[in-house]
Amino acid sequence: MSTAGKYEQEAKLTAIYAELRDGFKKADGISDLNKQQSLLKDLTSKMQEAKVLIKEFEQEARTDGISAAELANRKKAMVQELNNFISMKKERSADLDARKELVAGGSPSKAPQTINEMSAQQLMERGRKEMKAQDESLLRAQKIVESTVDIGSKTAETLHAQGQQMERVLDNLEEMRFDIKKGGQVIRDITRGLATDKCIMMLLMFVVIIIVVIIACKLAGVGKVSIPQPNFGLELLQQ
């Protein structure tokens, strides 16, 4: 901020506004349409630069704590002057476009006729165009409906196929469950058979062991040992 109380953006805006005034004065003395259009582009660029400076001024002024009333007044003056240049640019652009159209041999565009101003042939032609547009709109709507129905049918078929596939999966799971149950029963039967066979084998081993013991005893002569018999009854008879 300068000692005079002005911000840097305000000084730049003053210079830009002076350039804009000189530019519009210069445009009045140019007869070449292309040169005028080029000059208007340069002036438009200057106005865009001015918009940026106004925003920067507002941000910096708020940061410095300038009062709201003073900020509003100073910003209003900047914006009003810029709007004047924008209006001048729009007028020059419209005038330039009209001159280009005249040079090209065209004529200013006419306002559309109302129904009362149209002839019978024009009304019929307009009616045909509107009916054709409505027919095309209905045809597009019909295509959309047909496409929607087709998509719905395909979706229903897909869901039906998925339902059948799920049923087959459930059937397979049921068969697997039955096979697992049957396999468990077979395993239990085999286990019981093995337990029975084990008992029989143990019994056979016990019998074999007894036979071996008997044979061993006979071979060792244990069977020839005499066992004394009690003779208490004989002694009583002799007495």
Task: Determine the Cα–Cα distance for residues 96 and 46; give it in Å rounded to an integer.
Answer: 19
If one counts every other C-beta atom within 10 angstroms of the C-beta of residue 50, the result is 22
What value does the CA radius of gyration of the chain take, rounded to a whole number of Å?
Answer: 59
Q: Which residues of 6-40 are buried (b: 16+ CB within 10 A; e: fewer)?
A: ebebbebbeebbeebeebbeebeeeeeeeebbebb
Task: Determine the Cα–Cα distance for residues 16 and 23; give it in Å rounded to an integer.
Answer: 10
Task: Determine the Cα–Cα distance for residues 142 and 3; give it in Å rounded to an integer.
Answer: 75
Task: Determine the Cα–Cα distance for residues 108 and 80; give it in Å rounded to an integer.
Answer: 32
Per-residue 3-state assignment (H helix, E strand, C coil) for the chain: CCCCCCCHHHHHHHHHHHHHHHHHHHHHCCCCHHHHHHHHHHHHHHHHHHHHHHHHHHHHHHHHCCCHHHHHHHHHHHHHHHHHHHHHHHHHHHHHHHHHHHHCCCCCCCCCCCHHHCCHHHHHHHHHHHHHHHHHHHHHHHHHHHHHHHHHHHHHHHHHHHHHHHHHHHHHHHHHHHHHHHHHHHHHHHHHHHHHHHHHHHHHHHHHHHHHHHHHHHHCCHHHCCCCCCCHHHHHHHC
- Is the pTM higher than 0.75? no
Contact 32, 100 (CB under 8 A): no
pLDDT at 186: 80
Task: Determine the Cα–Cα distance for residues 213 and 197; give it in Å rounded to an integer.
Answer: 24
For the chain, 239 residues long, give each residue's pLDDT as a single digit of tens. 543 467 899 999 999 999 999 988 888 888 788 888 888 899 999 999 999 999 999 999 989 888 999 989 999 999 999 999 999 888 888 888 877 777 665 444 444 455 556 667 777 777 788 788 878 878 888 888 887 887 888 888 888 888 888 888 888 888 888 888 887 788 887 877 777 777 888 888 888 899 888 888 888 875 454 445 555 444 544 54
Token look-up 């002839």 returns 119
pLDDT at 3: 38
Task: Determine the Cα–Cα distance for residues 201 and 195; give it in Å rounded to an integer.
Answer: 10
pLDDT at 108: 45
